[in-house]
């Protein structure tokens, strides 16, 4: 279900704090393009995103890129046990440190590049990630978290809409590709909200969407994940080619013979279950040839 922005929910915490515009101006937090900074200043929207994360009671939330803290405030308004914010921009870290003074046992901030940091080390399970992601690094961040499997109970993440559509795309559709296969292989994925550019300050060039990502109970172990990365990179690297051509670099002939998948098909026609079979078979064949 996609949420429309028509409800006027109030955020009691936000209304008791200094306005986000004043915070931004006092800290000189003018948005920087290189950091993917498009801020959400409307508490109606941030409250809705926090609600889309589901029941956060007893959960530990990691927020990547809190910026001026609009979404952080909304998360603190939920029953989440703790919120740990990871931010690259020193100016925003100062803002969140200030906010943390009011929530000494619930909010902490780490100045770090989320791409280089193992976020699971920040809090115990059950863990959620909730974030309005910097779009320039959103895809590698997501793939890294998918690789960690069931370390995350759920991720509620804002992407640019086209990326959100790729994550949730079905076979035989224009957006179906490597990102969708990896995401849906590891998790249940659904677009739960869309937002126009004007919802952000400054507005990005494109629409945005929140995706709810709930990792499956059974998760691939690291070697199998690597096998899937290899198979999907080959298959979609040359997506217009038939599989018997595109899979050459991953021992395609043996792979297709072993799985019984027709080599004249193209990557975009394969289901997640067929990719799962290809990845498992690729792993077995690689183990045999290494033995």
Annotated binding site for S-adenosyl-L-methionine: 38, 40, 65, 87, 113, 132
Burial of 291 (0-12, 13-18, 19+ CB in 10 A): exposed
- What's the min distance (Å) between Cβ of 85 and ligand SAM? 9
Tell the smallest beta-carbon distance from residue 12 to ligand SAM (Å). 19
Q: Which of residues 133-162 bind ligand SAM (CB under 6 A)?
A: 134, 137
> In angstroms, rounded to a whole number, what is the distance separating the alpha carbons of residues 189 and 143?
13
Element (H, E) at 255: helix 252-259
Separation of alpha carbons 166 and 99, rounded Å: 35
Q: Any contact of residue 64 with ligand SAM (CB under 6 A)? A: yes
Sheet holding 187-195, edge to edge: 107-111, 82-87, 60-64, 127-132, 154-160, 208-215, 187-195
Closest approach of ligand SAM to the CB of residue 265, in Å: 38
Quick check: 115 binds ligand SAM (CB under 6 A)? yes
Site for ligand SAM (CB under 6 A): how many residues?
24
Outline where DSSP puts E strands in the chain.
60-64, 82-87, 107-111, 127-132, 154-160, 187-195, 208-215
Task: Map residues 68-107 to x or -, x wherever contact with ligand SAM holds by CB under 6 A.
Answer: x-xx--------------xxxx--x---------------
Cβ at position 273, least distance to ligand SAM in Å: 34
- One DSSP character per residue, 144-171 reads HHHHTGGG-SEEEEEEEHHHHHHHHPPT
> Do 88 and 37 contact (CB within 8 A), yes or no?
no
The conformational region for residue 280 under phi > 0 = left, psi -120 to 50 = alpha, else beta, is alpha
- Contact flag: residue 66 with ligand SAM (CB under 6 A): yes
Any contact of residue 181 with ligand SAM (CB under 6 A)? no
Choose the binding region for ligand SAM from 63-71, 176-184, 252-260, 278-286 (rule: CB under 6 A).
63-71
Residue 290 has a CB neighbour count (10 Å cut-off) of: 6
List the one residue from 9, 113, 118, 253 that touches ligand SAM (CB under 6 A): 113
Binding-site string for ligand SAM from residue 15 to residue 44, where x marks contact by CB under 6 A and - marks none = --------------------xxxxxx----
* One character per residue 199-218, x = contact with ligand SAM (rule: CB under 6 A): --------------------
């Amino acid at each position: 279900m996609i949420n429309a922005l028509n409800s006027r929910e109030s955020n009691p915490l936000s209304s008791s704090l200094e306005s986000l515009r004043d915070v931004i101006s006092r800290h000189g937090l003018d948005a920087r393009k290189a950091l993917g900074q498009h801020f959400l200043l409307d508490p109606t929207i941030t409250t809705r995103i926090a609600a889309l994360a589901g029941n956060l009671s007893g959960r530990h939330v990691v927020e990547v890129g809190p910026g001026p803290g609009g979404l952080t405030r909304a998360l603190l308004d939920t029953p989440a046990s703790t919120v740990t914010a990871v931010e690259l921009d020193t100016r925003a870290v100062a803002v969140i440190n200030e906010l943390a003074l009011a929530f000494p046992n619930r909010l902490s901030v780490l100045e770090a590049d989320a791409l280089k940091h193992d976020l699971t080390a920040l809090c115990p399970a059950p863990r959620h990630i909730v974030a309005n992601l910097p779009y320039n690094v959103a895809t590698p961040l997501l793939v890294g978290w998918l690789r960690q499997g069931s370390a995350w109970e759920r991720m509620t993440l804002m992407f640019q809409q086209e990326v959100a559509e790729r994550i949730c795309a079905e076979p035989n559709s224009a957006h179906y590709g490597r990102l969708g296969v990896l995401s849906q292989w590891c998790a249940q994925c659904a677009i739960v909200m869309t937002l126009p550019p004007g919802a952000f300050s400054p507005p990005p060039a494109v629409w945005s969407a929140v995706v709810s990502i709930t990792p499956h109970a059974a998760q691939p172990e690291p070697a199998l994940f690597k096998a899937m990365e290899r198979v999907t990179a080959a298959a979609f690297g040359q997506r217009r080619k038939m599989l018997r051509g595109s899979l050459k670099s991953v021992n395609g002939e043996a792979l297709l013979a072993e799985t019984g998948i027709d080599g004249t098909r193209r990557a975009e026609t394969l289901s997640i279950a067929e990719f799962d079979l290809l990845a498992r078979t690729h792993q077995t064949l690689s183990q045999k040839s290494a033995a």
